[in-house]
A and B are shown apart, each in its own frame.
Chain A
Amino acid sequence: EAGVAQSPRYKIIEKRQSVAFWCNPISGHATLYWYQQILGQGPKLLIQFQNNGVVDDSQLPKDRFSAERLKGVDSTLKIQPAKLEDSAVYLCASSITGGRDTQYFGPGTRLTVL
């Protein structure tokens, strides 16, 4: 079974530039999550999708971050414009139903904002 795929793995940009991350969840998983993991901290949920609808985006900085999940499968997370404090690893995860079931994480995208 293929795992959660993310791209790119690494990205370096200047502040005020834009960046986009892509995630392909495990086939058949209804729930998709985007997390931000700052160095030395635990993952922080940015947004959670159930199929192609948003169920939780309370911690998403909506003035600069946006996310969409096309047709309830792939998802993209965009930052525009980036700030220095956005430097982090962005993790995508998926689960079958979003209930008390296992979340499967991708390898993450390490973003460095200079």
Chain B
Amino acid sequence: GENVEQHPSTLSVQEGDSAVIKCTYSDSASNYFPWYKQELGKGPQLIIDIRSNVGEKKDQRIAVTLNKTAKHFSLHITETQPEDSAVYFCAATSNSGGYQKVTFGTGTKLQVIP
């Protein structure tokens, strides 16, 4: 089955700096890579996603890059703000028996220091 590794497990940055979270996946057939943000006491919420036919996608301060050859993808947050503090999960989606199966990474706890 799919295996997703995520690094780092914790990340502290000063407000205004950039944050980068990296993930690798094992199944070359994976074709959809969402990123989720989970705040304390809440369920994960999708913040950005990228499909396998695209190398980069940007949405305001958030961008995601995908390297299919190396099987890794990254989340970039620029001009970080205190409200960006949360746990971030990457995920890889592959076809399993005709349905898409999502495998999550282990999470990165981001702390933005004011």
**Which A residues are closer than 8 A to B by beta carbons?**
4, 40-45, 48, 50, 55-56, 91, 93, 98-100, 102-108
Report if A42-B107 is in contact (Cβ < 8 Å); known contacts: A56-B99, A100-B31.
Answer: yes
- A56 touching B97 by the CB < 8 A rule? yes
Question: How many residues does chain B have at the interface if contact means C-beta atoms less than 8 Å apart?
Answer: 29
Question: Does any Cβ of A come within 8 Å of B45's Cβ?
Answer: yes
Describe B's contact surface by its main secondary structure. Answer: strand
Q: Which residues on the A side are within 8 Å of B89 (C-beta)?
A: 42-43
- B107 touching A102 by the CB < 8 A rule? no
Q: Which residues on the A side are within 8 Å of B4 (C-beta)?
A: 42
> Count of A-B contacts with CB under 8 A?
59
- A50 touching B43 by the CB < 8 A rule? no
From the candidates A56, A91, A102, name the one contacting B34 in the complex (CB within 8 A): A102
From the candidates B32, B43, B96, B98, name the one contacting A100 in the complex (CB within 8 A): B32
Report if A98-B100 is in contact (Cβ < 8 Å); known contacts: A41-B106, A42-B89, A43-B89.
Answer: yes
- B42 touching A107 by the CB < 8 A rule? yes
State A67–B88 Cα separation when bound (angstroms). Answer: 28
Question: Does any Cβ of A come within 8 Å of B13's Cβ?
Answer: no
Q: Which residues on the A side are within 8 Å of B41 (C-beta)?
A: 107
From the candidates B36, B46, B101, name the one contacting A56 in the complex (CB within 8 A): B101
Q: Which of B45, B99, B105 has the most chain A CB atoms closer than 10 A to its own CB?
A: B99
Report if A99-B100 is in contact (Cβ < 8 Å); known contacts: A42-B89, A42-B105, A42-B106.
Answer: yes
- A93 touching B43 by the CB < 8 A rule? yes
From the candidates B32, B91, B99, name the one contacting A48 in the complex (CB within 8 A): B99
Q: How far is the CB of B23 from chain A (nearest CB, A)?
A: 11
Report if A100-B93 is in contact (Cβ < 8 Å); known contacts: A43-B44, A105-B45.
Answer: yes
Report if A40-B97 is in contact (Cβ < 8 Å); known contacts: A106-B43, A107-B43.
Answer: no
- A45 touching B101 by the CB < 8 A rule? yes
- A55 touching B106 by the CB < 8 A rule? no
6 closest A-B pairs (Cβ-Cβ)? A105-B43, A42-B104, A100-B32, A55-B99, A102-B46, A105-B44
